[in-house]
């Protein structure tokens, strides 16, 4: 289904959908623009990772469509609730899948392709990969999650470095020196941190640091190293011993010899 004209059709639908959420007023429009740019960056990152795996044109098209559609829920979420916090509003991934069904964006697709896209959109923001999925769906979900994390790390570290200051990025979390012990322990243990544990902006920075433990493809590891995201997050945190140790654990993982190899070789047709 994911041929060039289908990618173009979906891109046109997305552009119109995004435009329908612009209001002509700040700060709504800048929040919409933030996610519009994020979407196009995730598209670029997913194609980069996909090419590093020598994916065929049709699979690259599927990957591109996932990137274009993964955050459709964000536009309606901000329009309705004026926040990007799922905890304070609703799960934007589930909302996104609902929007795609409601708008009939994938009508005309075969059932397997449709459910692959809806599955990836609906699960792209989960703390953990879902266990029950066929290997092809899981492969594309991993691609999407890697590409998404890479661009969120860009947005977040640009914010921490003062390169732009959009209020929607810290999601209303208090910017005080406190760091939750459970969050530090999670990073030290090499575990993904859950959003429910987050109390402060510093906790959130550590949660983003811990994303490296849920990255799948060698190209993603390489990008994270090259763009120095961990350095920027650490520099934005208090220079305490627990922070230093947490950053060292994340860095050991991303720089270590155990970067995973290509994980998909199954029913890939």
Q: Select 149 or 205, whichever has its Cβ closest to Fe ion.
A: 149
Q: Select 71 or 234, whichever has its Cβ closest to Fe ion.
A: 71
For residues 205 and 234, what is the distance between their CA atoms, to the nearest angstrom?
A: 8
Q: Which residues bind to Fe ion, rule: CB under 5 A? A: 71, 125
Q: Select 9 or 126, whichever has its Cβ closest to Fe ion.
A: 126
Q: Select 47 or 72, whichever has its Cβ closest to Fe ion.
A: 72
What is the smallest separation between the CB atom of 256 and Fe ion, expressed in angstroms? Answer: 28
Instruction: List alpha helices for the chain, DSSP H.
Output: 4-19, 28-52, 57-69, 72-81, 92-103, 111-123, 135-160, 181-188, 201-210, 218-226, 229-235, 241-255
What is the smallest separation between the CB atom of 110 and Fe ion, expressed in angstroms? Answer: 26
Q: Select 125 or 200, whichever has its Cβ closest to Fe ion.
A: 125
What is the smallest separation between the CB atom of 181 and Fe ion, expressed in angstroms? Answer: 28
Q: Select 82 or 228, whichever has its Cβ closest to Fe ion.
A: 82
DSSP 15: H
For residues 29 and 214, what is the distance between their CA atoms, to the nearest angstrom?
A: 32
For residues 11 and 8, what is the distance between their CA atoms, to the nearest angstrom?
A: 5
What is the smallest separation between the CB atom of 106 and Fe ion, expressed in angstroms? Answer: 18
What is the smallest separation between the CB atom of 17 and Fe ion, expressed in angstroms? Answer: 15
Q: Angle at CA 149, nearest 5°, toward 148 and 152?
A: 85
Q: What is the dihedral of CA 158, 163, 168, 171, to 10 degrees?
A: 50
Select the residue whose beta carbon is closest to Fe ion and give its number. Answer: 71
Q: Using alpha carbons, select from 135, 194, 126, 155 the residue that is nearest to residue 42.
A: 155
What is the smallest separation between the CB atom of 144 and Fe ion, expressed in angstroms? Answer: 9
């Amino acid at each position: 289904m994911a041929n060039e004209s289908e990618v173009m059709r979906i891109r046109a639908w997305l552009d119109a959908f995004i435009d329908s959420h612009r209001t002509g007023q700040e700060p709504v429009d800048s929040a919409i623009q933030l996610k519009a740019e994020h979407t196009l960056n995730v598209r670029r990152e997913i194609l980069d990772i996909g090419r590093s795996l020598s994916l065929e044109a049709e699979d690259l098209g599927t990957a591109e469509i996932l990137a274009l559609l993964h955050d459709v829920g964000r536009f309606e979420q901000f329009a309705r609730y004026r926040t990007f916090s799922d905890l304070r509003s609703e799960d934007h991934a589930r909302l996104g899948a609902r929007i795609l069904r409601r708008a009939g964006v994938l009508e005309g697709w075969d059932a397997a392709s449709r459910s692959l896209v809806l599955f990836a959109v609906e699960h792209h923001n989960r703390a953990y990969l879902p266990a029950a999925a066929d290997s092809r769906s899981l492969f594309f979900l991993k691609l999407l999650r890697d590409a998404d994390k890479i661009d969120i790390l860009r947005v977040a570290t640009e914010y921490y470095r003062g390169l732009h200051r959009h209020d929607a990025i810290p999601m209303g979390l208090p910017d005080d020196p406190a760091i939750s012990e459970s969050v530090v322990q999670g990073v030290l243990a090499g575990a993904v941190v859950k959003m429910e544990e987050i109390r402060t902006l510093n906790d959130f920075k550590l949660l983003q640091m811990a994303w490296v433990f849920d990255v799948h493809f060698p190209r993603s590891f390489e990008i994270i190293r090259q763009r120095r995201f961990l350095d920027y997050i650490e520099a934005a945190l208090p220079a305490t011993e627990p922070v230093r140790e947490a950053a060292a654990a994340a860095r050991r993982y991303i720089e270590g010899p155990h970067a995973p190899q290509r994980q998909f070789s199954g029913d890939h047709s």
